[in-house]
Amino acid sequence: MTKPYKLVGRNFQQKNTHIQVGDAVFGDGSFPVIAGPCAVENEKQVISIANSVKNAGAKIFRGGAFKPRTSPYSFQGLGKEGLLFLAKVREETGLPIATEVMDVETFDLVEEYADILQIGSRNMHNFSLLRRAGNSDKPILLKRGMAATLAEWLMAAEYILEQGNTNVILCERGIRTFVTHSRNTLDLSVVQAVKKESHLPVIVDPSHAAGIRDQVISLAYASAASGADGVMIEVHNHPEDALSDGTQSLYPDQFFMAMKKIKAIHAIIGKE
């Protein structure tokens, strides 16, 4: 029986897709780490965090210039100014940039600055955005919708591949459940399920799954042991003053310590 998703399916391509961004390769058995603040707030903030996460071993810097916020009264991101600060980070640290693109209208602009274009959980079902991403030559980080099944998530990726862009990195970021002790529930079982169904790399974002700093570190360790192709972690130099997601952002020294253990855990599971 043929699977509904053609291009993203293992039956279409047996070999894992490898996606190289700077020094990082997603899907080759290594474990690149993407780190940075939820939102770009100012130049000093991003340069400081970027230097810290680079020093700890992160391969890619993250930071949102266009933020999808639940409330229209919350900080919406700096827009183009934020992208300029991200370009400065890349120039000064050499780290490639991952940043969210929220809509078709701003796609060209974000595409010009980003090394990886993130499509967020809330936009996983935005089919015109997915098609536009499929016409980009930049890698796409496709987050799982917060109520999406594996099949729906892979179908969203299919929209991108179908338009010609085969560089899609999937990202599990927690799903909405009945629990109240965390923001979402990290679905780590999906990692192996993705690997069975698809050749695309899959990474894990423990920050948006937990929503609470104290849970993020152990979930990052679990992600490293899960066979995922990397993690994305929010780090802030002053989380208590962060304009977005401060409660889940690690302090730079916490991130530094966590990276050492992540490296050790990844070695234990004996990936090539």
Residues in touch with ligand PEP (CB under 6 A): 38, 64, 68, 120-122, 143, 173, 208
Q: Which does 120 bind (CB under 5 to 8 A by kind): Mn ion, ligand PEP, none?
A: ligand PEP
What is the C-alpha to C-alpha distance for residues 21 and 98, in angstroms, rounded to an integer?
A: 10
Count CB neighbours of 149 within 10 A: 12
First to last CA, the chain: 32
Min dist CB 236 to ligand PEP, Å, is 12
Site for Mn ion in 5-44 (CB under 5 A): 38
Reduced to 3 states (helix: H, G, I; strand: E, B; else coil), residue 138 is coil
Q: Which does 248 bind (CB under 5 to 8 A by kind): ligand PEP, Mn ion, none?
A: none
Please identify the residue of the shown chain whose CB is closest to the bound ligand PEP: 120
Min dist CB 122 to Mn ion, Å, is 12
Tokens matching residue 234 = 């929010």
Nearer to Mn ion, 199 or 208 (CB): 208
Degrees, nearest 5: CA angle 104-105-109: 100
Q: Which does 115 bind (CB under 5 to 8 A by kind): Mn ion, ligand PEP, none?
A: none
Q: Which does 22 bind (CB under 5 to 8 A by kind): ligand PEP, Mn ion, none?
A: none
Nearer to ligand PEP, 7 or 96 (CB): 96
Nearer to Mn ion, 229 or 245 (CB): 245
What is the C-alpha to C-alpha distance for residues 41 and 69, in angstroms, rounded to an integer?
A: 15
The residue within the footprint of Mn ion, chosen from 210, 245, 250, 252 (CB under 5 A), is: 245
Q: Which does 195 bind (CB under 5 to 8 A by kind): Mn ion, ligand PEP, none?
A: none
Per-residue mark of binding to Mn ion, 190-229 (x: CB under 5 A): ----------------------------------------
Residue 248 near residue 216 (C-beta atoms within 8 A): yes
Q: Which does 68 bind (CB under 5 to 8 A by kind): ligand PEP, Mn ion, none?
A: ligand PEP
Burial 231-258 (b: 16+ CB within 10 A, else e): bbbbbbbebeebbbbbebbbbbebbbeb
- The residue count of the chain comes to 272
User: Which of 186, 202, 206, 205 lies closest to 194 in space, CA to CA?
Assistant: 202
Count CB neighbours of 116 within 10 A: 25
Min dist CB 173 to ligand PEP, Å, is 4
Helix/strand/coil percent split, the chain, to 5: 40, 15, 45
Min dist CB 65 to Mn ion, Å, is 13
Interface contacts to Mn ion, rule CB under 5 A = 38, 245
